């Protein structure tokens, strides 16, 4: 059975009212053993076996459609140096070239994604009120450092 056929069968089972009871039990068991917070997986096995985790760099799963994108179609999981985005973040700042190598993207594409992310953060920051509300108990209003002029 091909991957497409398995995916089609899975979607049909979900549409018909759920999975096979054995699969549901297995899924529940796997979910129970999955790390819930960073401390649970920080010292876990590497490469990270939880490829469905949103921080895993091996595959990307679209939450809306359920489609899977292989970031490294030519490699197996154990052939990748970094499989967890949280491990990369713990190391601190890295260059665009390093990010590109980790995510299998070109430096230019990483720069484009960085720019889009920064624009989104600016929009969110601009939407926040400049003058915070007065605390209910009275007292001084906390000073914001970006109001210095």
| First vs last C-alpha separation in the chain | 67
pTM: 0.59
Tokens linked to 101: 């190598």
Better-predicted residue by pLDDT, 140 or 2: 2
Q: What is the pLDDT of residue 39?
A: 87
d(CA 49, CA 34): 10
> Would you state the pLDDT for residue 149?
46
What integer best gives the mean pLDDT of the chain? 82
pLDDT of 29 > 70? The answer is yes
Residue with the larger pLDDT of the pair 37 and 129: 37
Mean pLDDT of 103-128: 93
pLDDT of 135: 63
Query: For residue 41, which of 105, 84, 88 has the smallest C-alpha distance?
Result: 84
- Separation CA 43–CA 55 (nearest Å): 15
């Amino acid at each position: 059975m091909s991957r497409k056929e398995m995916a089609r069968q899975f979607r049909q089972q979900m549409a018909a009212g759920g999975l096979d009871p054995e699969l549901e039990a297995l899924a529940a068991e796997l979910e129970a053993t999955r790390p819930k917070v960073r401390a649970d997986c920080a010292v876990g096995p590497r490469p990270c076996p939880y490829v469905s985790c949103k921080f895993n760099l091996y595959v990307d799963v679209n939450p809306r459609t359920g489609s899977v994108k292989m970031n490294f179609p030519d490699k197996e999981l154990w052939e990748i140096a970094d499989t967890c985005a949280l491990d990369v973040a713990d190391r601190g700042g890295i260059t665009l070239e390093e990010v590109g190598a980790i995510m299998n993207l070109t430096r230019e594409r990483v720069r484009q994604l960085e720019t889009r992310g920064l624009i989104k953060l600016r929009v969110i920051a601009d939407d926040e009120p400049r003058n915070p509300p007065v605390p209910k108990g009275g007292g001084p209003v906390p000073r914001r450092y970006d109001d210095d002029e």
